[in-house]
Amino acid sequence: MASRPPARVPASLRRLARAAAWLGLLSVASAAEAASPGPGAWSDEEDEAVFDVPAPPTLPGLTLRDPTFTFEYTAAVIEPDAASRAGGKLAFAWYSHGEMEVPLVPRKWFVGAVHDSAAASVPGVERSILLGSPELYGRGVWSSVRGLASGGGFGLVLPVPRDVSRDQAEVLRTARVVRPWDETRFRELTLTFRPWFDMRHITGPFIFQLRQGLDWSLVVRGLRSGERRTDISAHTAFYFGYRLARPVGVGLELWEVYQLTQDLPDDRRATFAVSPSVRFILSNVQPALSVLLPVTTPLRGDVASYYAARFSVGFTFPTGAPRAPP
């Protein structure tokens, strides 16, 4: 069997990697110029403006001090592709995402757990609810009083056995396009390693945040016909936010997911999506509303198109821990 040439990394991914590298150099340079404040050097308001900024709807608040829980619910209208059994009718999908994160060292070291579930109603097939595999992760972050933060993390999606019928597989194929950067949580008996790095810069009311990572998946069961033992995909997220006032912020997320190893045509390897949002910053609660729109081909071309509305809410659980300097 002739071997396939290695997939080329898209120019957009290379540009984002270079931008992240420059942002990392800027962070290091600024750290050399500015020392961390001692205890009590900053007021609560100044501390909040630098470290307790509102998190994007999908990405975490990098330097939060207290435990947090984030819940997201997404409803989507999906146009199946021409080969689908839906017969040209619209499908509907629902996706729930829950994430708990606890700081081991406030603002520096964190551990977390994630669990998802998805459901879809596909005409001509059936309606099913599918549970995702749990993910455990840890991450660390360095931060500066200048508003710069950088770090990285490592997640592990645990393999969970599931008996998926032909109809359920069609439902899953439809529903997972709603959150393409996390579709590895819905693979059968697959162990996924998820390393990533984070960057964030805050200047006045503006927030810029970047996450870039890889998903390396390993199938730990017998392979089916045409299936690969391992699979690698890359994902990049960029967030631009603006705080209109202390209790209100608006933002825009840009996502790219790129299939590095799957046997796909080049025009189906990259998936782009945008998500404008508005967030309300209340005491220990941060609800957000956003929409999710595809820019190019949805995940692997599994559907023709979709659009989704998202509601997310983040809860903070104050522990009374001292405000340790970063």
Q: Which of these, 269, 267, 268, lies nearest to 259 by C-alpha position?
A: 269
Instruction: List the domains of the chain with CATH numbers.
Output: 47-316 (2.40.160.40)
Lowest mean pLDDT among 28-37, 44-53, 242-251: 28-37
**CA atoms within 13 Å, Cβ hemisphere of 179:** 26
User: In this predicted structure, what is the pLDDT of residue 43?
Assistant: 55
User: In this predicted structure, what is the pLDDT of residue 305?
Assistant: 87
- Mean pLDDT (whole number) for 148-176: 87
- Which has more pLDDT, 267 or 237? 237
Q: Is the pLDDT of residue 192 over 80?
A: yes
Q: Pick from 2-11, 60-69, 119-128 the range whose average pLDDT is largest.
A: 60-69
Phi, psi of 117 (to 5 degrees): -145, 150
- Which has more pLDDT, 96 or 324? 96
Q: Which of these, 160, 186, 163, 162, lies nearest to 174 by C-alpha position?
A: 186
Q: Which of these, 240, 306, 248, lies nearest to 276 by C-alpha position?
A: 240
Task: Count other Cβ atoms within 10 Å, centred on residue 166.
Answer: 9
Identify the three-state secondary structure at position 242: strand
User: In this predicted structure, what is the pLDDT of residue 214?
Assistant: 96
Euclidean distance between CA atoms 104 and 244, whole angstroms:
32
Of the pLDDT bands very low, low, confident and very high (cuts 50, 70, 90), residue 7 is very low
Q: Which of these, 215, 212, 291, lies nearest to 253 by C-alpha position?
A: 291
**What's the burial of 168, exposed, middle or buried (CB within 10 Å: 0-12/13-18/19+)?**
middle
User: In this predicted structure, what is the pLDDT of residue 314?
Assistant: 94
Q: Which of these, 201, 211, 223, 170, lies nearest to 16 by C-alpha position?
A: 211
User: In this predicted structure, what is the pLDDT of residue 255?
Assistant: 93
Of the pLDDT bands very low, low, confident and very high (cuts 50, 70, 90), residue 85 is low
- Which has more pLDDT, 2 or 241? 241
Of the pLDDT bands very low, low, confident and very high (cuts 50, 70, 90), residue 169 is confident
